């Protein structure tokens, strides 16, 4: 007999335990994401009206990514139900592009990841988060990608000029889209915002006018036969021409210097000096005076830019920002090594950042980082104030909670009413207390799913279609459980493939 026949006999139309990663798990996304929760759900999710930080440490397979997907889905639902009190969601889970640009900006391609990560700072995280948020917002404003970001036209049309200026400034520094040439996309955004920038053309217009007048004067002198007036004091004529272009030249040099600073200091972003300078020069100089830019090795300007981003979002109907941090162990540089994960994550443990008004950071971190937290000194705890961050030191599952998760997945794949439970697929001689002890040993949902799948396959392989057995026998259960636990223990000790 095959596993499909076995499941269909119990009214289950697809295998509820075939997938192991929530990122690609249709059963979870379609049937469980709305109402199957970990006991710590309320503490992690919080109240979207008051964004708050939560820090979760969990084993591999414990459901951190599933929790992140659930938070994102429920925030989307919250936004639909509260159109005037929405929350802007930024998913910060792909670190590879930022780490690669960081390496190239520093020019340390041959240095070890450990040495490079020692130079990673909080402002690099803020730059990365702002680039994700700003790029996605501009996609929505320009109509390139709507996704779940909604920008009502009436809010866009009534956006004050200073907010339009701030969004354009954020676009200069943080828009990382490759869908269009950066200058074309920026001017498209400017037209959408109806931001007039005629004053920015003043220096160039003055230089062109000075050149035209200079040329007319020189031609007139030569036509009238007074070329000596020019040749004898030619340097004065050239000085007059240079004076006409001086305004433009000073502006060009100033914006070039700013562009060089941004390119050098925004280490996780992709920039070229020419495009940065051209877009900075497209904003009137008076509108740039005193504005923060990411051109220093400091978090101060980054916080000001973050506040500007939040202010623009409020003008567009978003009253809070939630950042979902996940998969810090997966980048190529990190490769699952705890020391490298620590170097990447630790700069974010700053109370000023984690408690920034209107900002909630939901951090899903591997359990391997928890011992580093326990060994930190008083200065770290004073800076991070983990006692105020909704810390969940161990993302554990009780056997009963794991059984509920398994039954919820079976229910999502069943067409019977009432749907079967996992224990209905086991022989009645397997007592509930024994099964709960097995779930206690498995510890996390991923191990439960992998074991259940292997157990069903082994059971089906042990019986033929002519003589089917519709419940897993105790011997199969015990044998597969012992084998799986032994392999898992070897894998965790680093002596097996798992």
Q: Classify residue 22: in a domain, yes or no.
A: no
Residues 212 and 187 occupy one common structural domain: no
Domain region containing 456: 3-10+397-492
Q: Residues 49, 54, 57, CA angle at the centre, nearest 5°?
A: 155
List, in order, residues 6 or more apart from 226 with CB less than 8 Å away: none
Residues 191 and 331 occupy one common structural domain: yes
Residues 210 and 64 occupy one common structural domain: no
Mean pLDDT, to the nearest integer, of 351-375? 95
Of 281, 311, 346, the last residue of a domain is: 281
Residues 228 and 340 occupy one common structural domain: no
Residues 84 and 146 occupy one common structural domain: yes
pLDDT higher than threshold 90 for residue 217: no
Of 364, 392, 420, the last residue of a domain is: 392
Q: pLDDT by residue (tens digit) across 89-102?
A: 999 999 999 999 99
Give me 296's structure tokens.
């220093």
pLDDT higher than threshold 60 for residue 497: no
Residues 188 and 215 occupy one common structural domain: no
Distance CA 52, CA 68 (A): 14
Q: Classify residue 27: in a domain, yes or no.
A: no
Q: Determine the pLDDT at residue 226.
A: 60
Q: Classify residue 76: in a domain, yes or no.
A: yes
pLDDT higher than threshold 90 for residue 66: yes
Q: Classify residue 372: in a domain, yes or no.
A: yes
Q: pLDDT by residue (tens digit) across 246-298?
A: 767 788 899 999 999 999 999 999 999 999 998 998 888 888 988 999 999 99
Residues 321 and 372 occupy one common structural domain: yes
Residues 357 and 409 occupy one common structural domain: no
Burial category of 384 from C-beta neighbours within 10 Å (exposed 0-12, middle 13-18, buried 19 and up): buried
Number of domains in the chain: 3
Residues 402 and 387 occupy one common structural domain: no
Q: Classify residue 288: in a domain, yes or no.
A: no
Residues 230 and 155 occupy one common structural domain: no
């Amino acid at each position: 007999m095959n596993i499909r026949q076995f499941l269909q006999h119990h009214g289950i139309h697809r295998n509820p335990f075939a997938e192991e990663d929530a990122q690609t798990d249709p059963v979870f996304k379609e049937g469980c994401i709305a109402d199957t929760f970990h006991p710590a759900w309320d503490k992690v999710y919080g109240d979207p009206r008051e964004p708050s930080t939560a820090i979760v440490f969990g084993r591999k397979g414990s459901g951190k990514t599933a929790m992140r997907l659930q938070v994102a889905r429920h925030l989307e639902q919250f936004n639909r139900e509260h159109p005037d009190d929405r929350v802007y969601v930024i998913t910060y889970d792909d670190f590879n592009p930022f780490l690669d640009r960081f390496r190239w900006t520093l020019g340390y391609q041959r240095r070890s990841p450990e040495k490079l990560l020692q130079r990673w700072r909080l402002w690099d995280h803020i730059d990365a988060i702002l680039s994700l948020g700003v790029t996605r917002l501009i996609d929505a404003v320009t109509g390139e990608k709507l996704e779940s970001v909604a920008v009502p036209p009436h809010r866009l049309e009534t956006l004050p000029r200073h907010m339009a200026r701030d969004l354009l400034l954020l676009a200069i520094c943080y828009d990382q889209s490759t869908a269009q040439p950066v200058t074309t996309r920026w001017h498209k955004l400017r037209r959408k915002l109806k931001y007039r920038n005629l004053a920015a053309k003043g220096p160039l217009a003055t230089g062109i006018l000075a050149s035209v007048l200079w040329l007319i004067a020189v031609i007139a002198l030569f036509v009238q036969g007074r070329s000596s007036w020019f040749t004898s004091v030619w340097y004065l004529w050239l000085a007059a021409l240079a004076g006409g272009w001086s305004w433009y030249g000073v502006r060009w040099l100033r914006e070039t210097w700013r562009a060089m600073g941004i390119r050098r200091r925004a280490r996780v972003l992709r920039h070229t000096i020419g495009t940065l300078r051209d877009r900075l020069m497209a904003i009137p100089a008076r509108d740039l005076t005193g504005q923060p830019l990411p051109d220093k090795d400091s978090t101060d300007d980054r916080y000001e830019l973050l506040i500007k981003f939040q202010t623009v979002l409020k003008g567009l109907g978003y009253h809070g920002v939630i950042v979902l941090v996940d998969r810090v162990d997966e980048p190529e540089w990190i490769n699952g090594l705890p020391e490298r994960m620590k170097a990447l994550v630790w700069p974010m443990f700053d109370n000023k950042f984690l408690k920034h008004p209107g900002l909630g950071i939901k951090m899903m971190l591997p359990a391997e980082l928890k011992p580093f937290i326990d060994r930190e000194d008083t200065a770290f705890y004073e800076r991070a104030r983990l006692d105020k961050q909704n810390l969940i030191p161990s993302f554990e599952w009780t056997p009963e909670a794991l059984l509920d998760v398994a039954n919820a997945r079976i229910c999502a794949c069943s067409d019977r009413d009432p749907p079967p439970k996992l224990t209905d697929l086991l022989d009645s001689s397997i007592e509930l207390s024994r099964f709960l002890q097995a779930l206690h040993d498995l510890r996390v949902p991923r191990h439960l799913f992998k074991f259940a799948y292997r157990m069903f396959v082994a059971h089906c392989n042990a019986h033929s279609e002519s003589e089917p057995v519709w419940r897993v026998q105790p011997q199969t259960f015990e044998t597969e459980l012992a084998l799986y636990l032994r392999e898992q223990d070897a894998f965790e000790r680093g002596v097996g493939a798992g």
